[in-house]
Structure 1
């Protein structure tokens, strides 16, 4: 807390805005948008590498959150104040940091898959900027961001090593999909047990079940696309890539918001909503892309 109070003492309106901008690089919505662009339009294999790190580390972070149940800094120390605009995005428990997990899973994977040292430096600079922003804004302690960074970095390294060196994940489609699904289901069950025992509130169990629904959706979607669909992200009409991305991401946002309005925001509904959202990204839209491209080539 002492370090956070030092950062609190140097806050200014300009620095507040700067760090609110930097923290956006770790927002789930931005990370998913970048994954979607890579997956639909640029490099499907790279997107899969990011997804394996993103979803597995997300499940781990959510599990640790409800296991240790560390309160946010302003709850831990009532004399401390976080930047007000950052509090609205600081859902769930404090330890470990979800924004750091999102940023590390994306940018570290990008760093491992480039040969340019400058690009790697930029990627890790973004990660460290997100980590610092979470502390400056007062929503996480150093231990929150450091543990999240370390765990996600290890998962990122292992995932990329296994794919690059042995292709273990991409050769064992069914086994990998089943394992990730089992882990996702186990996390959901664990959170519901804690909820039933009144150890955690419903909102915390809901966050875990969202991650579980997304994990199941990715494992199933990855398997179906890799084995049966195998769409080509490099369209024969490059000028249409932007349109393709905007349509896909637009429908994804509609699903995220629209399904909540239709089926509600209960724990099962949230789990189903994220499952459907990820299936749209990984299976349904790629299938439509492949069908559309086939018709264009035939015409």
Structure 2
């Protein structure tokens, strides 16, 4: 049934105008890509720090949990299971890990779903972000890189993660001690799971040409990416709260725009720096861990640090 559905969508895609197919690819690349961190980051920096924190924690937990599930079940992508499925080349390029559950869908649901949850009283905002989740989920089926089961389970997984995040945030409250305990629990879990992922026996199957269908090293690297993500985000979150403690209260529109611009700039610069540092590491999965750790740490720590410095300069200028 799942393959038949993908073939049905594939026939539509092959006969659809190119602009429509490009639009679907754009949705999966942006709404299911860079916006997953940029939108929560802007909420965290500019609008409501507490709500932004909720979304970032949900996104990070969901991202790493999803790839753990992927590497436990080790289910191949649709085109690896059936030669009838012909995904687009761009979509295949962005499909790095195993198929079940869908990472793009789960990350979107954990991020945008969390935004919809914290802004559930604002109907238009809530509906917009739920729609984004559904569009990303559909795009993964339409492009032929995931089955319906992959995206449905990913959404259900994200709902559980959002519920779990609400419990975690309530338990932590404003207690620095509770936050540190939570952080070290996550670090401990990541250390144990990393050992399991590296030492685990992955299936090695061959296609008719005698080539390995999916190399296990890719699965380990995919996990390391998300492990780096959660450690980078939570490390920045802990250190920022302890040493910087910026606020989103009483910000003018100008202040918000400046913060958003600074945050995006630091994110882009951090991405370049992450590439430079990680390129020095020879082991691929460790390289992936380091790269994503730096990529997500930089904007969430150095962005607020710059905000505080600018605020101090502004106050000194007003006094003089």
Q: TM-score, normalised by structure 1?
A: 0.90
1:281, distance to aligned residue in structure 2 (A): 2.4
Segments of 5+ residues of structure 2 without an aligned counterpart are: 205-213
Equivalent runs, 1:142-157 vs 2, <5 Å:
142-157=148-163
Contact kept, 8 Å, 1:221 with 1:279, in 2: the verdict is: yes
2:217 aligned residue: 202
Q: What corresponds to 2:316 in structure 1?
A: 298
Q: Which moved more, 1:216-225 or 1:99-108?
A: 216-225
8 Å contact from structure 1 (residues 53, 156) kept in 2: yes
Per-residue CA deviation, residues 131-159 of structure 1 (Å, 9 max, x unaligned), is 11110110100111011110111111231
Report the Cα offset of residue 267 of structure 1: 2.1
What secondary structure does 1:81 align onto? coil
- Map 1:82-97; keep pairs closer than 5 Å: 82-97=87-102
What stretches of structure 1 move > 4 A for 4+ residues in a row? 195-200, 234-237
Shift of 1:31: 0.9
Partner residue of 1:278 out of 273, 296, 304:
296
**In the aligned structure 1, how far is the partner of 2:30 from the partner of 2:109?**
10
Partner of 2:198: 192
CA gap of 1:140–1:196, structure 2 versus 1, over 3 A, is closer
Structure label with greater radius of gyration: 2
Residue 117 of structure 2 is matched in structure 1 by 112
Q: Tell me the equivalent position of 1:253.
A: 268
TM (norm. structure 2) is 0.84
Q: Name 1:168's counterpart in structure 2.
A: 172
> Residues of 2 paired with 1:221 and 1:243: CA distance?
20
The Cα shift of 1:202 comes to 2.0
> What is the match of residue 65 of structure 2?
60
CA shift for structure 1 position 235: 6.9
Q: Structure 1 stretches of 5 or more lacking a match?
A: none
Query: 1:50·1:105 contact (CA, 8 Å) conserved in 2?
Result: yes
Q: Which residue of 1 aligns with 2:137?
A: 131
Number of residue pairs matched? 297
1:84-110 per-position Cα deviation (integer Å, ceiling 9, x unaligned): 322211111111101111110122111
Shift of 1:200: 5.3
1:269 corresponds to 2:274: no
Q: Give a deviation string over 1:45-67, Cα, whole Å, max 9, x none.
A: 11110111111111111111111
Query: How many Å separate the matches in 2 of 1:91 and 1:256?
Result: 19
